[in-house]
């Protein structure tokens, strides 16, 4: 005999269970744990409701586990944000300065991979002499960020410092792109060193040459035969080619697509024409164009799809998104120079002269202007 199920009662039961789970999570967020002991389900039920504190910026909860050779576990921690912001800034700056030195950070990350002798560190970091190593290890040993075996043995990280450093490196990894944005901001603040000053402002054509050069390099590599330059009515310009398209797959040990690297890392250099152009007049490259643009968008046609990413003053406004499908390949860059920096418009006469030069040098390259 088959018994029919009462789905209504089952749904009611699940609803009650979900509501109880929500209450447990709410209580968990309000748990005050001064002893930093691991929390259990029973602790959730004992926790008092969350209370509002005047001018309270909230709490931050964190924990961690390091599954290395000598595994470590950091029990759940809780810090009041207001107290964190009131930390001794002098001491905080000293800690960051100790870690902010490139060679010291390299030493710490090197010994994190495994204990090493001084000579092994020198060899791996190409430091040249042990004198440099001694100077930095002395500071790190004094700061309790390194320990050394007896009689000049191997260096390693103290166990109680390992997890905090790894968590700090995790946070840094989420902030790495800010260094690129700082360089982009500096490019904007020093715009005159790039396009060159004219009586009526900076010349936007220099930005166009840099974008155009990226497509020309793709032609030199044997993958681009056509370039279209579209002068838009709003003052923006589009440069489109039928090359391979800027690679969209993230490079090893990176989560960022090469197309974003091409457009944001001013100091990035690569010999592949499809990845980056070295820049034209006065060192202008694609990131500089991006920084000096009110807005810029790039579309990449490859792998049967159309990818797009938008930027403002060089800073990404979106991830690399798939917006369509296509059988074509190539790259299109559309940008509008920032009117606060570059007030003049593109000069069609200069553009025609530049195209004429290209056609003499590259007779098999077709370049057209569309208005």
Helices (H), the chain: 7-29, 41-46, 81-85, 89-100, 102-112, 118-125, 130-142, 159-173, 177-189, 205-220, 258-264, 286-291, 348-361
Greater model confidence, 229 or 281: 229
Using 50, 70 and 90 to split pLDDT, how confident is the model at 247? confident
Q: Residue 172 above 50 pLDDT?
A: yes
The answer to whether residues 314 and 219 belong to one domain is: yes
Q: What pLDDT band is residue 10 in, cutting at 50, 70 and 90?
A: low
pLDDT tens profile 204-219: 888 898 899 889 999 9
- Note whether residue 185 is domain-resident: yes
More confident call, 6 vs 305: 305
Q: Is residue 149 part of a domain?
A: yes
Q: What is the Cα–Cα distance from 294 to 317, expressed in whole angstroms? A: 12
Mark which of 175, 190, 208 sits at the end of a domain: 175
Give yes or no: residues 38 and 166 share one domain. Answer: no
pLDDT in tens, 255-291: 678 888 889 887 654 433 333 333 444 467 899 899 9
Residues 171 and 43 in one domain: no
292 and 188 share one domain: yes
Number of domains in the chain: 3
Residues 206 and 263 in one domain: yes
Is the model more confident about 22 or about 306?
Answer: 306
With 90 as the cut, is the pLDDT of residue 254 above it? no
Domain C-terminal end among 175, 193, 221: 175
- For residue 61, the enclosing domain spans 27-65+73-82
Q: Residue 132's domain is classified under what CATH number?
A: 1.10.10.10
How does pLDDT run across 33-58, given as a tens digit for each residue?
A: 333 443 333 343 344 444 444 456 78
- Does 278 lie in the same domain as 225? yes
Question: What are the tens digits of pLDDT across the range 298-350?
Answer: 999 999 999 999 999 999 999 999 999 999 999 999 999 998 888 888 888 88
How far is residue 164's CA from residue 101's CA, in Å, rounded to a whole number?
18
**154 and 235 inside one domain:** no
Span 146-153, mean pLDDT? Answer: 88
């Amino acid at each position: 005999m088959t018994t029919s199920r009462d789905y209504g009662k089952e749904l009611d039961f699940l609803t009650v269970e979900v509501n109880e789970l929500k209450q447990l999570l709410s209580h968990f967020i309000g748990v005050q744990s001064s002893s930093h002991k691991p929390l259990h389900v029973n602790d959730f039920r004992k926790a008092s409701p969350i209370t509002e504190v005047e001018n309270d910026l909230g709490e931050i909860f964190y924990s961690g586990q390091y599954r290395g050779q000598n595994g470590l576990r950091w029990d759940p921690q809780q810090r009041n944000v207001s107290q964190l912001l009131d930390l001794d800034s002098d001491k905080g700056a000293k800690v960051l300065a100790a870690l902010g030195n490139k060679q010291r950070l390299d030493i710490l990350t090197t010994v994190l991979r495994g204990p090493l002798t001084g000579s092994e560190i020198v060899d791996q970091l190409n430091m040249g002499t042990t004198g440099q190593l001694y100077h930095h290890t002395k500071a790190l040993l004094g700061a309790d960020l390194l320990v050394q075996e007896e009689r000049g043995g191997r260096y390693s990280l103290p166990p109680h410092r390992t997890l905090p450093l790894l968590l700090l490196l995790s946070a840094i990894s989420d902030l790495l792109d800010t260094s690129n944005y700082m360089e982009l901001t500096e490019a904007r603040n020093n715009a005159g060193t790039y396009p060159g000053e004219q009586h009526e402002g900076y010349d936007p054509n220099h930005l166009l040459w840099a974008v155009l050069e990226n497509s020309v390099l793709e032609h030199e590599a044997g993958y681009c035969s056509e370039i279209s330059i579209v002068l838009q009515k709003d003052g923006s310009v589009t440069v489109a080619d039928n090359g391979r398209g800027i690679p969209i797959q993230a490079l090893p040990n990176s989560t960022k697509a090469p197309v974003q690297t091409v457009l944001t890392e001013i100091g990035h250099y690569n010999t592949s024409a499809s990845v980056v152009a070295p820049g034209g007049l006065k060192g202008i490259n694609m990131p500089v164009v991006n920084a000096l643009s009110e807005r810029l968008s790039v579309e990449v046609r490859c792998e049967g799809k159309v990818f797009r990413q938008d930027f403002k003053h060089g800073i990404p406004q979106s991830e690399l998104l798939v917006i369509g499908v296509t059988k074509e390949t190539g790259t299109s860059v559309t940008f509008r120079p920032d009117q606060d920096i570059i007030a003049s418009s593109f000069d069609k006469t200069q553009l025609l002269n530049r195209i004429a030069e290209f056609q003499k040098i590259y007779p098999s390259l077709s370049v057209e202007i569309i208005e």
